[in-house]
Amino acid sequence: MFLVSGSLQKGRAQQDLVQSFVMSVCGLICALLLMCCQLAAGRLLATSNRTEMGEKLKQLLVEVSLEKPFNTALVYGKDCVFLPLLKNFDVALVIVTEGTTNFDWDFPSLTLILACGWDADREQNSRTLIKLQRARRLIYMENERIKPNEVCGTFFAKEQYNIAMIYPNFEETSLIYGCRNFQSPNYVELKLEEGRTAIFIQQFLNMQGSDLVTDADQLAPRSMLYRDPHTGETKMLGYVANTINHFVQKVNATLKFRSKSQVVGKTIYYGDIEKLIEEDLLDIGTSLGVVLGRSNLDILTYPYLLNSYCFMMPLPAKLPYNQIYMVIVDPLVLGIIFILFCSFSLLLIYGQATSWKGLTLSQVLLNDKSLRGLLGQSFPWPTSFSKKLKLICMLLCFASVMMTTMYEAYLQSFFTRPPPEPFLRTLEDVDSSRYLIVITKKEADRFSFHNNPSSNRARTKIVDNWSDFLQLRDTFNASYIYPVSEVRWRTYKEQQKLFEEPSFYYSDDICLSRMLFLCIPVRQYLPYRDLFQEHIQRQQEFGLTTFWIDRSFYDMVRLRLTPLEDFSRPQVAAEAIELIDLSWILELYVLALVLSCCFFALELCRGKKSSQKRITWNTILNWHNRN
């Protein structure tokens, strides 16, 4: 009995053990199945979330393109969430996985920058940064702990202002954070569904009174500083200064001079203004820079003015009276008169003898009748003459009347108002003149004046100080030749209208540059460069720049920078012709008398020899007849 019950108990224990094992296995299988179901549900949920996020991002990109279309998408970061969405847009795609391109990209202006991570963009190339500075940036913030104000402040420090960002919970909140520079806090929250406020705006249309730092070169008439008598503030005037003044008003900024101790009326060399711009000490320079010889135009705007840079030449002095006789005798006219003289000589000889027999060169060149007739003097008339000879004499008299009248008119008009000496047309003419070319060392180096093979250092005066050069040029010292721009020459031309006689003229023949593009210097990374260049073009389109240039002289007079006095030194006109004024005529008269005496002596000698020959021949004949 005992053995049977023991075996039964042992069998039940084994059966319970098998049942518990089976139940454990079934529980494990159920747990595994439950886990797989949970994973599948999580994957389905993640897929649905990713799909919803993709639709939101796609809607966001569509909204951005509706604000302003883009033709190029620049993506920073690896496996960025924006990449799968761009296939729906017909745009060029540039992927920068390393965060920088390391070379100069020629990006178009309609470029949209997409970045995954606020530090994904690590661009270092300066040329690429300038091209991408105005580009819109949409950032997917992977790190939710970084606040929008920190991100905006970081990009503002790099002078990049078109920034918008989203966070990973964008599919739930639909919140977009747009950076705004001129407010506190420096960002705004926008709802994607609302669509009332633009995500990206032109922030510098209203600068809220922020400073625009400048310095004026005070080179009249483009920029001139003065003190306002009512407020005591320093203000500026001129055609370039007016452009900047109006831009400051347009964007609601505050004009600030870098140097508060800048002396009114102290001129600064425009190259020094460009150096301050290159050092980022000025936003916009109230000056004009030249494009000549530059390979990098990052600190210059769209061309503001097309100008020439030539020399301001002293007007030639009037010819002295004793040289007027030589001026009215033109070599070509003398040649024509000589041909007429020879022609009339031949006609007179043939008309009188009706034959060319016995014609000699001396009879043509020394025909006193033709010479007297052309000079308007009387000459012996032949006793018997034909109609042809009469016609020839009438033509000779008519030619003499025309010639003497012409020369008398020339002589009287030139004596009344003597013509000037020949103008200087080349640098070789300057070298042979009494004038010196005055130029600053900086200008000579910039325009490579000494490299010109025609320039003569002996006829050049180098001035080191820019202000001294300008003061010397303003004195109208007629001993020198000055380089001057065409715009500045217009004011000098107006000023000379107050003189008794003009002293200088603008030479188009001798120039340092006949086509000089002048631009306003601006800081390399100026964020509102596009607004300023558009402002320049609009002013040129409406003719304001031309208007300001035309009234530059009156602005200079109003600021008392141009004295209303006569700097000319007119020559005192002689009351009467003196004997020295007839020196050339008297010398020619004496020379003619000497030649006449020589010819007369030759004629006498020839006559004696002829008479002696005739006497000898007659003696021989008489002796022969006697014998």
Question: How do residues 381-411 score in pLDDT, each as one tens digit?
Answer: 766 667 788 888 888 888 888 888 888 888 8
Winning range, highest mean pLDDT, from 37-41, 331-335, 461-465: 461-465
Q: How would you label 463-473 residue by residue, b for 16+ Cβ within 10 Å and e otherwise? A: beebeebbebb
Stretch 140-145: mean pLDDT, rounded?
88
**C-alpha to C-alpha distances, 445 to 51, 442, 464, nearest whole angstrom:** 66, 5, 12
Domain ranges of the chain: 52-201, 211-297, 305-318+420-519+562-592, 321-416
* 424 phi and psi angles, rounded to 5 deg: -85, 120
What pLDDT does residue 78 have? 80
Please write the tens of the pLDDT for every residue from 336-362: 888 988 988 888 887 777 777 767 887
Identical topology for domains 52-201 and 305-318+420-519+562-592: no
Strands 163-166 and 175-179: antiparallel
Which is more confident, 380 or 211? 211
Which class does domain 211-297 fall in? Answer: alpha beta
Q: How far is C-alpha 453 from the geometric centre of its chain's CA atoms?
A: 24
Give the model's confidence band at 422: pLDDT under 50 very low, under 70 low, under 90 confident, else very high: confident
Any idea which residue has 């021949």 for tokens? Answer: 617
Contact 281, 287 (CB under 8 A): no
Contact 151, 141 (CB under 8 A): yes
Separation CA 113–CA 57 (nearest Å): 14
What pLDDT does residue 41 have? 41
pLDDT at 47 over 90: no
Stretch 171-193: mean pLDDT, rounded?
90
Strands 305-314 and 480-485: antiparallel
How wide is the angle at C-alpha 129 spanned by C-alphas 127 and 132, nearest 5°? 115
pLDDT at 18 over 70: no
Strands 136-140 and 111-116: parallel
Contact 57, 85 (CB under 8 A): yes
The CATH label, of 3.40.1710, 1.10.3470, 1.10.287, 3.40.50, for the domain at 52-201 is: 3.40.50
DSSP H or E stretch at residue 155: helix 148-157
Q: How far is C-alpha 422 from the geometric centre of its chain's CA atoms?
A: 31
- pLDDT above 90 covers a percentage of the chain that reads 39
DSSP 362-381: HHHHT-HHHHHHHTT---PP
| CATH number given to 305-318+420-519+562-592 | 3.40.190.10
pLDDT at 235 over 60: yes
pLDDT at 17 over 60: no
Residue type at position 272: D
| pTM, entire model | 0.77
Out of 249-253, 339-343, 544-548, least confident range: 339-343
pLDDT at 178 over 60: yes
Contact 436, 479 (CB under 8 A): yes
Please write the tens of the pLDDT for every residue from 437-493: 999 998 888 887 766 666 666 688 999 999 999 999 999 999 999 999 999 999 999
Any idea which residue has 């992977």 for tokens? Answer: 142
Any idea which residue has 């009469």 for tokens? Answer: 390
What pLDDT does residue 2 have? 31
